[in-house]
Amino acid sequence: MGQPVRKNTIEFRVWSQHALFTDPLTRIGGEKCSYHIPTYEAIKGVVKSIYWKPTFVWIIDELRVMKRIRTQAKGVKPLKYGGGNTLALYTYLTDVEYQVRAHFEWNEHRPELATDRIDGKHYALARRMLERGGRQDVFLGTRECQGYVEPCEFGSGPGELDEDGKLSFGLMFHGFDYPDETGRPELHARFWRPVLCGGRLVFSRPEDCSERKFVRAMTSKAFGAGSNLKAVTDESGNMEGPR
């Protein structure tokens, strides 16, 4: 069963008819084929769609694959860079369901937002947005893969991979190192070697991923008094109305 929930932790179930988890560095064109398991960055995107502020960083702790891994190939007509459409074959995961445990930590590279580090406020808002299905639309990998979320107790209920052994996936994309989370004016892609054990995947923390690739130079967005700082720290008008 699940561990005791801390006051910065959420646990939820996410499901979708299809999912497409691919290496972003190879998604600029051509035919796409999904990883068999979600990437850290994709699940982080789901959590940020539930609730996020630049005051903190979401850390994905663990994921549980609830349904057998299945794929489905679909013919699509993506846009060509020169105009018009082309024909391609995308391989999606189909009928996916996961349980996720994640927690937030203060973003130490945002000292201008230190006054917004109120764990009770952000925890309550995250729980409330989760109960409403998220503050923004949820996608599993790509926009055509609409997902849905609801609170759950991590580890509850039977999963179709519970009795399976270990399954290694080799070198796999983990996520991006963004400047506002690292303090460096660069964007890097991280890679790791995940192992699924009994349907459970324990994610490495971003700083523990030893393999990285430089993508490009990038600067983080600045927040300052009198400009956009109040919009970040003030939740009035957003707590009671519909999302």
Q: What is the pLDDT of residues 123-147, one digit of tens each?
A: 999 999 999 999 999 999 999 999 9
DSSP-derived secondary structure letter, 79: B
Q: Against a cut of 0.85, is the pTM above it?
A: yes
In the chain, % of residues over pLDDT 90: 71
| Pick from 66-80, 89-103, 168-182: least confident | 66-80
Query: pLDDT tens digit string along 142-154?
Result: 999 999 999 999 9
Give the pLDDT score at 77.
Answer: 84
- Domains contained in the chain, CATH given: 9-176+193-208 (3.30.70.2660)
DSSP element (H, E) containing 230: helix 229-233
Q: What is the DSSP string of 113-179?
A: GGGG--HHHHHHHHHHHHHTT-SS-EESSSTTSEEEEEE--TT-S--TTTT--EEE--SEEEEEE-H
Q: Helix count (H) and strand count (E) of the chain?
A: 4, 12
Residue 235: both structure tokens together: 């939740």
Residue 186: both structure tokens together: 């660069």
